[in-house]
Structure 1
């Protein structure tokens, strides 16, 4: 009793819901400020959620586990529902096809047992359909008896169609009707049964429709019996199974989420505690330790962390003690040297003043003694300044400073040294004042250190060019060996010192500020420097909240840039002058 007709509908119904106009919760009057506030709160909520997602391993693990579990449970639930649905429908179809076959066979037997002289076709149709209708009302199925129909004629248009009271004849699927136009074999398909109850209320539901044909002896015509078996019980069973699976899935997801949360909490909580302790250690609270509980891997990790913290504390205290002793030693030695240095200075001044009366070698020795004493005094002053920086005792004397005036003053002071080296130095500054709130003495010292350093490492041009560059005035740096540029904006002021000397190798721009460091150890300090000038300059820049940076390229020279905030305590974001000069590609 197979059928070639395809299924016509599913076994579940979808309840129609009334259509309502969408609302967005906007207040009456469409207040634009309320809409902006709502969007701002939504954006803030999204940012908070993304922040929690990025920073919390526990949230990511729990969410990922629940999403994967939901996918697995959904797939398994869908498979179980499909299997349950197919099983229920297969059993129901097998039962209704068998029942329809029995009804048709019994009806055919009744017709064959009728008197051969009975030629009342209408009476035979009533005798055929009434017992089936009565049994259908008792057993819960409906029946339609359709007489011979013309091709393309529906059951509702046939005048001799008889059916169960209240049944809509259109419930018989057209595909099944079309099947019997070409074949007489029984067939079945899915459809929807529509009917009205005693109170006139319409009902609709899924059904299995089985069709078979019988021959009426009175007129010799073939009639078709359509049996409509509702699937309401199967639909309720499937709905019950669906609700049970959904309830079980929700409970399972909650259980999985809770278990994942508890498991990750046991792992994440010690990690969070370790992070907090590490942050406190980084803040200088070296006595912080993790609490060790148990003997598992996390407990061993906490023990190792505490041992590492103890070792770091010991090392840091030793370094702090050594640094304190070093600073005190430098300070004490510097102060103790002042007294003998004063005595030696007095004796040296006497010898230097009388050098013309000494023989040639003795007079030259007096001059060398005076020069080295000058350098020694500068070194001693630099050591004292470094000790003050190390001890955190350096303070600023803030005033309104014009960096262009300071740069010109420094260039005038260092002019004899530049002339001695054959180096031309110019200042490139705007006509307006470039002012900043700073300590004039310290800023002038920084610029002087940068200029003398540039003179030491500049590559002198010919004497004529040098003289021309030195006398060229200010503002044109193309003819000079050292160019001092000054520029400023609303937030910062900067001074850049550019030379065209030997330059810096890769990585030396960070080392150049180390104490007593030299780019070329074999090179003499022609300016009488001590090797601490750039280190002190860097500390002065940091004391102002500014930057002191270096750039260099072998054979293309170097540039040092000092950047200071216009207002004391201001925050720097960028410098008015580029660190890499615009003529970095040229080679002098």
Structure 2
């Protein structure tokens, strides 16, 4: 498991570095002190032995007898061993003297030391030859060798004490390191938190949010960069909002201005429609095309006006108690689709809704299924305690994955080759807006063998 937050990572890293550094320094100091302690003890014991031998050596007779060896051993200490050829004077603990130490003393003719452990007890073995000094100052071995075995348990206890002190030092450094890490993390993360809060405010729509840079470090440079980014985003958003407002106002104005001439043109087309039978074939075809295109233009203007009302927030609902099943059936019957669309529904489902807007949604969904899907087209109406669902499915090719995210976009057509289809490209967008104005939602997906649209309306009989 790893710390996930930046604060936690900073704390862990700072504490680890501090504690490891303190521990390394303490252990290094303890190791140096231990080595110095052992070396000084060894030097002290060696100096003591050589001084004792130096004081007694002139009083010995050479070659020495057993009594001379015993006197020398007694003077050196109870843990000493004195040898001369086949003669030996041994005290306690001298059985620890190794053959390797004896061989080194004889070969080197100088003081030799050796550290061993016997029975979990550390020992220092010292061996030295007794040297004879001639009148001319030259020194020669006398053949007498002195060995001692000194218990180093006290020194080991002192070394253990140093190790405990090193561990205690590292333990004491832990809370201090944590405190320093908290202070350091706070000073480092405070501007980061301010930047986070500023970014959240910008993401929430407050494009005036800024952070004041402090200091001249990398965080201050990051703050300046974020402020510049926010300024650029705000400028771009303001320009985009102005363009969107202009586009919406243009669409509303154009659709409103077209309404009167289109009403006149529609009346003319109705009169023309009554006289097409008297025209020749080419003229009749042209007249019928003009009538169809006029009707298409009227629907487009009506859709634009409806979208403009949604954008302006002036669209309203006239709630009444509606039998959803009856409303769906009437929608299909009015457009002559009852024989082409299968309606699956219970006998009655009551809902407070705007019947006209519900008719618009169902007509758009069923019409799309008939135009772009394949039979059978099915409308399934159901209800739960919380909502009413109207599901429209077909058995066509379905919606491509690239189309699903844009299916409710205005003027979006999946197939650019169908630019002259009867639809305005606003039907599904208007259908979703009508669903949302009721507090519901309209979603699109793919079912087995075709497209699937589901209208969800909250089942709340109270006026909203």
Same fold (TM over 0.5): yes
Given that 2:327 and 2:359 are in contact with CA atoms closer than 8 Å, whether structure 1 keeps it comes out as yes
Q: 2:154 aligns with which of 225, 231, 247?
A: 231
Q: In structure 1, what is the equivalent of residue 205 of structure 2?
A: 284
Could you tell me how far 1:319 is from its partner in structure 2? Answer: 1.8
In structure 2, the residue corresponding to 1:518 is in which secondary structure? coil
- SS at structure 2 position matched to 1:562: strand
For the pair 1:455 / 2:455, whether they are aligned, the reply is no
Match of residue 454, structure 2, among 546, 562, 569: 562
- Partner of residue 535, structure 1: 429
For residues 269 and 399 of structure 2, the distance between their equivalents in structure 1, rounded to whole angstroms, comes to 39
Find the counterpart in structure 2 of residue 258 from structure 1. 180
SS at structure 1 position matched to 2:446: strand
Say if 1:248 and 1:483 are closer, same or farther in 2 by CA, change over 3 A: closer
Shift of 1:291: 2.0
Kindly state the Cα deviation for residue 240 of structure 1 after the two structures are TM-superposed.
Answer: 5.5
Contact 2:26 2:170 in 1 (8 A): no
Question: What is the match of residue 444 of structure 2?
Answer: 549
Residue 343 of structure 2: aligned partner: 427
Structure 2: which 5+ runs fail to align? 81-90, 103-112, 128-146
Distance in structure 1 (CA, Å) of the matches to 2:49 and 2:212: 79
- SS of 2:396 mapped into structure 1: coil
Residues in 2 aligned to 1:188 and 1:311: alpha-carbon distance in whole angstroms: 78
* Aligned counterpart in structure 1 of residue 413 of structure 2, from 515, 518, 534: 518
Q: 1:334 to 1:386 in 2, by over 3 A?
A: same
1:445 aligns with 2:360: yes
Deviations for 1:410-430, whole angstroms, at most 9, x for unmatched residues? Answer: 4434435x86xxxx421345x
Indicate yes or no: 2:31 matched with 1:82.
yes
Q: Name the structure 2 match of 1:71.
A: 20
2:101, 2:228 → 1: CA distance?
A: 92
Alignment of 1:7-46 (within 5 A): none
Counterpart position of 1:243: 165
Partners of 1:69 and 1:253 within 8 A in 2: no
Other-structure match for 1:20: none
Q: Which whole-Å deviations, capped at 9, do the CAs of 1:231-290 have from their partners, x for residues lacking one?
A: 16x74576367537744784598469737954x656543333232222222323222233
The separation in 1 between residues aligned to 2:21 and 2:348, in whole angstroms, is: 73
CA distance in 1, matches of 2:413, 2:324: 28
Sort the Cα spacing of 1:567 and 1:63 in 2 relative to 1 into closer, same or farther, 3 A.
Answer: farther
Q: Secondary structure at the match of 2:433?
A: helix
Aligned residue number for residue 313 of structure 1: 234
TM-score of the aligned structures, taking structure 1 as reference length? 0.55
Q: Is the 8 A contact 1:437 1:566 kept in 2?
A: no
Describe the SS at the equivalent of 2:450: strand
SS at match of 1:54: coil
User: How far apart in 1 are the matches of 2:290 and 2:298?
Assistant: 12
Check conservation: 1:407, 1:444, Cα contact below 8 A. Answer: yes
For each residue in 1:98-130, what CA deviation from the matched residue of structure 2 results, as whole angstroms up to 9, or x when unmatched?
7579889979x899448xxxxxxxxx9xx999x
Deviation at 1:396, TM superposition (A): 4.6
Match of 2:304 among 383, 391, 398: 383
Q: Structure 1 residues 502, 84: CA separation in 2 closer, same or farther (over 3 Å shift)?
A: same
In structure 2, what is the Cα distance between the partners aligned to 1:102 and 1:399? Answer: 121
Contact kept in structure 2, 1:327 and 1:387, CA below 8 Å: yes
Q: Report 1:294-305 matches (<5 A).
A: 296-305=217-226
C-alpha displacement at 1:537, in angstroms? 1.7
- Could you tell me which residue of structure 2 aligns to residue 152 of structure 1? none
**Structure 1 residue 294: Cα displacement:** 5.2
Distance 1:281 1:92 in 2: 73
**1:453 Cα shift?**
0.9
Question: Aligned with 2:368: secondary structure?
Answer: helix
The change in CA–CA distance for 1:182 and 1:366 in structure 2 (over 3 A counts) is closer
Distance 1:182 1:435, change over 3 A: farther
How far off its partner does 1:450 sit?
1.3
The separation in 1 between residues aligned to 2:34 and 2:420, in whole angstroms, is: 96
Q: Secondary structure at the match of 2:4?
A: helix
Q: Tell me the CA shift for residue 387 of structure 1.
A: 0.8
The CA distance in 2 between the partners of 1:95 and 1:88, in whole Å, is: 10
Mark the CA change 1:180 to 1:97 in structure 2 (over 3 Å): closer, same or farther.
same
Report the Cα distance in structure 2 between the residues aligned to 1:98 and 1:395, rounded to whole angstroms: 110
Residue 8 of structure 2 corresponds to 59
Q: Alpha carbons of 1:359 and 1:549: their partners in 2 closer, same or farther (altered >3 Å)?
A: closer
Check conservation: 2:19, 2:177, Cα contact below 8 A. no
Deviates more, 1:280-289 or 1:266-275: 266-275
The 5-angstrom pairing of residues 84-483 of structure 1 reads 84-93=33-42, 95-96=44-45, 112-113=66-67, 189=116, 208=123, 228=151, 231=154, 235-236=157-158, 239=161, 242-243=164-165, 246-247=168-169, 250-251=172-173, 254=176, 258=180, 261-262=183-184, 267-293=188-214, 296-352=217-273, 358-359=278-279, 371-396=292-317, 404-416=325-337, 424-429=340-345, 431=346, 439-459=354-374, 480-483=375-378
Q: How many residues align?
A: 417
How far the C-alpha of 1:304 sits from its partner, in A, is: 3.4
Quote the residue 1:23 is aligned against: none
Listed one character per residue, the Cα deviations across residues 431-483 of structure 1 (whole Å, up to 9, x for unaligned) are: 58677775554343222211111111234xxxxxxxxxxxxxxxxxxxx4323
Distance apart, 1:500 and its partner CA: 3.3
Report how far residue 343 of structure 1 moved: 3.6
Superposition deviation, residue 508 in structure 1? 2.0
